[in-house]
Structure 1
Amino acid sequence: MSQVRRAINFVQEFSIPLILGVIAGLIHANVAPESYQHMIHLDWTSIFGSSEAHAGGGGAHGVPYWKTVHFLINDIFMALFFGIAAKEITESVLPGGALNPPSKAVNPLLGTIGGIVGPAGFYLICVFILVTSPEQIGVASGVFGSTSPEHIIAGQHWSDATQLAANGWGIPTATDIALAWLFARLIFGNKGSAVGFLLLLAVADDAIGLVIIAVFYPSQTPEPVYMLLAVAGMAVAFGMRKFGVKNWHPYILIAGPLSWCGFYMSHLHPALALVPIVPFLPGPKVDTGLYEPAEDEEEEHHAHDALHSFEHDLKLFVDVGLFFFAWANAGVQLGGINIVTWIVLGSLIFGKTIGITFFSWLGTVLGFPLPDGMKIKHLVVASIIAGLGLTVALFVSGEAFKGPAGVEIMGAAKMGSLMTVIAGFLALGLGKIWGVKQDDGEGAPGDQDVSEAAH
């Protein structure tokens, strides 16, 4: 392998562009906030000539949203990111995949349910107990309407603030697959059963996360009739598959835009447009497993089917592009930290850990054991790693809080999402303390099997 290829692999494996983008966004937003806002709301059409963007209304910065750099990144580029996530989900249900046969996926899927219910419940409970005024979430009282003492005494602002904060319940539900995989390998090695468990959980987690984004965070009031365009895109993709089209390009470049227009015009998030298209790409007869390294990379390169080729050809572009996604979404001012920051962070670390651990333990009680070799300590450490919610959590933060009242709370929620990197290092430390070793199930505390402990 050449030095250049090694360097590229290192950059991708350790999510370097994403991390650098987070750092760049934080520095830019705090050192030159006006410049940062100007750049992410820049009219990209102006590079092709004169623009009328500033002549009329439109977005909050005088530019229609569809003309902004933020739109290009979040609504168009991220369609490729979620398309690759859909590829992982599709591959997992194929013969030999992590979800096939379904019986071996029952316990991780129960853990996935816990990984949704736990953090969402933790978040809502904390919001309803702790958020009692607009000022707590960084929102001026007048934003909600009447500022008369009577309304404040009557608790009007309390209910409005709580309702606004509660809308972020979906933020802590997803897991960042790439970062989770990175920390899982550092702790459990390449072949530990906990790695497969965690990746299966993360993929299923993101599948549910896509549904949450589409259903609960539409950009405006949904107009479902336009989803017929997405159905047309699926029909085109189905026809291509029936006629034996082996290349991924027609699926993504013909059926994909049809689906994108359907999502966009329906006011569902267009970043999800490739999710119903990718499953039609011809896939392998047998899946070798998520993130399993190839024995012969050169041979694998020439043996790609359309499903693999789609990821193989676009993965580097998407990984590098995540720099710009992180830069455009992680630019929050440090002074904007408030109670929502800590609620998001706590939900992802404690809510995820408690939810996954309890539901997976419950699965063993019901007769659905964890993978061979996984013990209590492996389950707890894997559950903590699942609290890494960086990418999708940032994305949902931007969708959950909009409008004048949502700007400040959005920044606070994003800061909580960024802080979840703590979960990875917490898992590393706990793994060391408990003696978790790479590629085996030996250790100190918690050596008993979860199934034994359940009984």
Structure 2
Amino acid sequence: MYKVWNFVTNYSLLLIIGAVIALVWANTAGDSYHHFVEYPLWWNDHIGLTIDYWKKAYGEGYDKFGPFETEKVLTFHYLVNDLLMAFFFAIAAKEVWEAVILKNGSLRGRKAATPLFATAGGMFGPIAVYLGLAAFLGSDTYNAVANGWAIPTATDIAFSYLIGRLVFGAGHPAVRFLLLLAIADDAAGLIILAIFYPTGDLAPAWLLLSFGAAIGVYALFNWLPRRMDRHKQDRPNSTFVRQTLSFWPYLIAGALSWYGFAQSGLHPALGLLPIVPTIPHADRAFGIFSAAEQHLTDLLNMIEHALKHPVEIILFFFGLLNAGVEFKSIGDATWLVLAGLIIGKPIGILAFGWFAARPLKLGIPEGMRIIDLVVIGFVAAIGFTVSLFVASVAFPPGEVQAAAKMGALFSFAAAGISIIAGIVFRVKKQHH
């Protein structure tokens, strides 16, 4: 349990502190909070918000920064959400990549089939509930909130894992099932962000820069040294690249890839994803939260460890800059996001998980019951981090975005519901 608590404190405690500060600040001095969030840091023609978009986001008082002689402005919000959060998504992508590519990876083979079906249910269920209830509320509401359909599809890995262990016990097979589901959910979420939430007019030619940087850094600093070291036990070229150049080639390639994403219209926070698979990795997976990973010396794991503390600070500022919602902003989008998560997740995960386990005969892990899928569904309904992020890109700044963010924050209620569901459905805790 210490390992899990350590992870949650590393990656989520500062996030919660930032979110709490934001909520208090926004509800006591709303104008100063929003001006802080959209404060301009750098006027330029290359990265940031367009001047017109920034004027709307900043609101009254923007003219004191004029005259405006550049096309774009880098704001505090853009710096965190669009640039620095790329490191958070890179860590998430690293876990997904290892789960898929490495020997013993958790998303490989038949053992991952039912969790992957359940993941699909955990996405389609919330979408159906969200859009269905929005349509029921009328065309005006539907048109206003429809673009937020992906907000309730998210699952916060850290908090879900923590609550899952509290409900089921550390040794219960449902915990591993939940973890597979959460990792796959993250992977699907990254794809949804890339396809459905571009940040501007698409210019796909710029992606050639991103993928060119990825191919170049892989060929020159990963494949070529290994090729030159064939039949050499001391591996001089690989050792030189590793010890002398370290992560720098990948950081430079990452910067180029990020810029390519920013200019292409795809969300730039995904800009490091093409680089993650190019970094030398371990030869087998020990699993997320595994203590063994701390002792791995491959470059990919070393980069992840080096990013741990910076990402903690980034998540603090992410919470501070995104969770500042006034309670008067609670509206239709709040309840739709919450319903999508707390109703749609359990129903979708149960329906798709049952279909995979029974009619398709893919089975579920030994020691798990079908009814446990309902409890897993409630645990997976904690959206928080990624739900907040999607809300910030699905809607422009304003009432609907604020209401949707409140729904993402309220999804913490799923933790309490999960504990109650565990009691109602008589979950037998397994600690070993």
TM-score (norm 1): 0.81
Report whether the alignment pairs 1:241 with 2:242.
Answer: no
1:191-220 CA distance string (max 9 Å, x none): 321111111111111111111111111011
Contact map agreement 1:172 1:347 (CA 8 A) in 2: yes
Report whether the alignment pairs 1:412 with 2:406.
Answer: no
Alignment gaps of 5+ in structure 2: 66-70, 226-237
Distance in 1 (CA, whole Å) between partners of 2:175 and 2:261 is 34
Shift of residue 291 of structure 1?
1.4
* Cα distance, 1:432–1:223 mapped onto 2, change above 3 Å: same
Shift of residue 250 of structure 1?
2.7
Q: Which residue of 2 aligns with 1:25?
A: 22
Distance in 1 (CA, whole Å) between partners of 2:25 and 2:154 is 27
Of residues 74, 96, 101, the one that matches 2:104 is 96
Residue 178 of structure 2: SS of its match in structure 1?
Answer: helix
Q: Which residue of 2 aligns with 1:111?
A: 118
Report whether the alignment pairs 1:208 with 2:199.
Answer: no
Distance in 2 (CA, whole Å) between partners of 1:92 and 1:282 is 15
Shift of residue 433 of structure 1?
3.5
Report whether the alignment pairs 1:223 with 2:203.
Answer: yes
Shift of residue 320 of structure 1?
3.0
Equivalent position amino acid for 2:300 in 1: L
Report whether the alignment pairs 1:187 with 2:182.
Answer: no
Q: Which residue of 2 aligns with 1:155?
A: none
Q: How does 1:213-362 map to 2 (within 5 A)?
A: 213-239=193-219, 240-242=221-223, 243=225, 244=238, 245-246=241-242, 249-294=247-292, 301-362=294-355
* Cα distance, 1:220–1:58 mapped onto 2, change above 3 Å: closer
Identity of aligned pairs, percent?
Answer: 43
Shift of residue 301 of structure 1?
4.2
Of residues 77, 81, 86, the one that matches 1:70 is 77
Runs of 4+ in 1 over 6 A off after TM superposition: none
Equivalent position amino acid for 2:355 in 1: L
Contact map agreement 2:92 2:186 (CA 8 A) in 1: yes
Alignment gaps of 5+ in structure 1: 47-52, 133-157, 295-299, 442-455
Shift of residue 374 of structure 1?
1.1
Distance in 2 (CA, whole Å) between partners of 1:355 and 1:323 is 32
1:54-110 CA distance string (max 9 Å, x none): xx766122477642100110011100000000011011011111012x211100000
* Cα distance, 1:66–1:191 mapped onto 2, change above 3 Å: farther
Q: Which residue of 2 aligns with 1:379?
A: 373
Contact map agreement 1:252 1:274 (CA 8 A) in 2: no
1:227-271 CA distance string (max 9 Å, x none): 111111211232222134447623541110111011000011010
Distance in 1 (CA, whole Å) between partners of 2:129 and 2:52 is 40
Moved more, 337-346 or 244-253: 244-253
Residue 67 of structure 1: SS of its match in structure 2?
Answer: strand
Shift of residue 190 of structure 1?
2.6
Contact map agreement 2:282 2:296 (CA 8 A) in 1: no
Distance in 2 (CA, whole Å) between partners of 1:423 and 1:44 is 38
Aligned length: 393
Report whether the alignment pairs 1:392 with 2:386.
Answer: yes
Distance in 1 (CA, whole Å) between partners of 2:404 and 2:53 is 26
1:280-308 CA distance string (max 9 Å, x none): 222211111221234xxxxx645331221
Output the aligned Cα RMSD: 2.4
Distance in 1 (CA, whole Å) between partners of 2:180 and 2:40 is 40
Report whether the alignment pairs 1:166 with 2:146.
Answer: yes
Distance in 1 (CA, whole Å) between partners of 2:420 and 2:222 is 48
Distance in 2 (CA, whole Å) between partners of 1:114 and 1:88 is 22
Distance in 2 (CA, whole Å) between partners of 1:352 and 1:218 is 25
Distance in 2 (CA, whole Å) between partners of 1:251 and 1:163 is 46
Residue 54 of structure 2: SS of its match in structure 1?
Answer: coil
